[in-house]
Every structure is written in structure tokens, then in C-alpha cells.
Amino acid sequence: MNKTENNKAWFLVLPVFVIVAFSAIIPLMTIVNYSVQDIFGPNQRVFVGTEWFVDVLGDPRLRDALWRQFLFSGLVLLIEIPLGVLIALAMPKQGWLVSVVLVVLALPLLIPWNVIGTIWIIFTRPDIGLLGVAINGLGVQFDHTASPLDAWVTVILMEVWHWTPLVALLAYAGLRAIPDAYFQAARIDGASAWATFRYIQLPKMRGVLTIAVLLRFMDSFLIYAEPFVLTGGGPGNSTTFLSIYLVKVAVGQFDLGPAAAFSIIYFLIILLFSWLFYQALLNVGTGEKR
């Protein structure tokens, strides 16, 4: 059979190239551009190679922010994933209550992020906030503007309140997709509630939980608006996460070179960890025994 050489088909994928170029590649290249040059103004630039990267990696404040970020994302995943699954397991399976629960759960997801921060500022104020007054009323000193621990507790609480519903909704969708026959078989096999969860529900939720872990990791690792509004990164630097620090460097100090180098490292970390989580969750429990 004769093949006709015709490369015109490439024009069909051109729109995709253009969109991806403008939405991802060109902005990213701008960052790369900044990260390897020292720019003083229009037409005043010096190529500096890896200097900014070396600078940034040696910055102890950045390293602190990085560890803080890992601790934060780790805690968020450890709390939100099991909690979301528990909520999904406890949710009603039929009747009018389902819609009510779904709407109530989705509410925090609909609130703008900076508003979330404001809500929690007021909610936790020791003088007028419901939570703040209640906790202080119990005799526990609680003030997130003064104590780093209280600030952390508040930020984590806020994050859990804001995003656990997403995990719960995903897990619920995963649970509802399990055919009834599995539960009938488990009853016939005499499986306990725990065994049913461990061997049916959990494995069947693998897909949605993978998505939940990835989304929650990426989002919590990038968190900015809520803690910025709530604590402004303080007290001291105790809740200065990576993106808050990045904005301080880029906008506050106008150090675009180090900020760009920092952004690229940031991006690579997220990419690396997302890939690791994805691989781990895809393969857990599917390997051959021998």
C-alpha cells in the first residue's frame, strides 16, 4: 500500500500548542528567564547563571518555610483523609437527608478563600469570637495572634474545616459506586464491619482517594490566602508558609531573581511529590505476593 506523505494534519493540533504555550510554557519560561538573570530595569540585565538558585537554597528562612510547609501538608493529609472517609461512611445513603448533608458539606467549599480567613479571625477572637470565647471560658488560654502553637492549631482547624468536605464528597462518591453484591457477599461471608471496610470499601475507594490525596497535597502545599488573612504569617514567622514567604520576597522586597528561582524549585517539589503519591497509591496492594 502506498502511503501519501501529508503533514497538513499537524495544523489540527496547532490550536492546542498555542493554548498550552500561552497558558503554561511562555509564563513558565518568563520565570526561567528571571531566575537566571539579574534585571535592574528595561534593557539592563546581567546573566547570573545559577547564582539565584544557590542563594535561595542557602537561605535559612526559606528552608524553615519549606519544613513548615511539609509539616503543614503532612498534618493536613493525616487529618483530612481519614476524617473525610469517616464522614463519608457516616453519611446517609438514601432519602431526603442525602441532599441536605451534601449541601451542608459543600458550603465551606463555596466561600472565597480570603473570606474564610476573615471568618476564622472573627470566630477565634478571644474577646468576641464564638470559639475564642468558648475556649478561653474553659480556662485554656487561647490567642492565635500571640502563641505560635495556637496559630498553628487555628490554621490547621481552618484548613480542615474548609477542605475535609471535598475529601468526604469524593469518598462518598467512591462508596456509592460499590455494587450492593459486595456487601451482600460480605454479610454471607460473615465479615465484620471492620473487615468490610478494610477489604471492600477501602480498596474500592483507591481511585477517589488517590485524587483526594493529590488535590489536598497540591492545594495545601500552595496555601496562601487563608493563613495570610488569618495570621499574616505570624506570630513571628511561625505560620509563614512557602507561598507567603515567596510573595514577601517577590512583592515585598522586589527580589524577582531569587523569587523566580524559588518558584521553579517550588514547582519541581510539587511535581515530584505528586508523582510519588500517585505512584504509591496506584501500586499499593496490587503487587504480587511472591
Contact of 148 with 236, CB cutoff 8 Å = yes
CB of 59 to another protein, least distance (A): 45
- Selected from 15, 112, 190, 236, the binder of another protein by CB under 8 A is 190
Q: How far is the CB of 38 from another protein (least distance, A)?
A: 55
d(CA 99, CA 133): 33
Q: How far is the CB of 10 from another protein (least distance, A)?
A: 39
Which member of 199, 273, 277, 278 binds another protein (CB under 8 A)?
199
20, 187, 253, 279: residue in contact with another protein (rule CB under 8 A): 187
Q: Which of 75, 191, 211, 218 binds another protein (CB under 8 A)?
A: 191
Interacting residues of 93 by C-beta distance below 8 A, sequence separation 6+: 176
Of the pair 96, 254, the CB lying nearest another protein is at 96
Among 97, 185, 271, 272, binds another protein (CB under 8 A): 185
Look up residue 46 and give its DSSP letter: E
Q: Minimum distance between the CB of residue 191 and another protein, rounded to whole angstroms? A: 5
Q: With beta carbons less than 8 A apart as the criterion, state whether 73 and 214 touch.
A: no
Tell which one of 104, 109, 189, 276 touches another protein (CB under 8 A).
189
140-179 positions binding another protein, by CB under 8 A: 179
CB nearer to another protein: give 44 or 283: 283
Whether 151 contacts 239, CB under 8 Å: yes
Report residue 266 as a C-alpha cell. Answer: 517550588
End-to-end CA distance of the chain: give it in Å, rounded.
48
Q: Are strands 37-41 and 44-47 parallel, antiparallel or unpaired?
A: antiparallel
User: Smallest distance, Å, CB 276 to another protein?
Assistant: 21
Report the sign of the C-alpha dihedral through residues 230, 236, 237, 239, in that order: negative
233: its cell numbers: 504569617
| Among candidate residues 131, 136, 133, the one with its CA nearest the CA of residue 154 | 131
Minimum CB separation from another protein for residue 180, in Å?
A: 9
Q: Min. distance of Cβ 189 from another protein in angstroms?
A: 4
277 touches another protein by CB under 8 A: no
Q: Nearer to another protein by C-beta: 60 or 179?
A: 179
Share in percent of the chain as helix, strand, coil (round to 5)? 70, 5, 25
The answer to whether 213 touches 170, Cβ cutoff 8 Å, is: no
Q: Which residues bind another protein (CB under 8 A)?
A: 179, 181-182, 184-185, 187-192, 195, 199-200, 203-204, 285-290
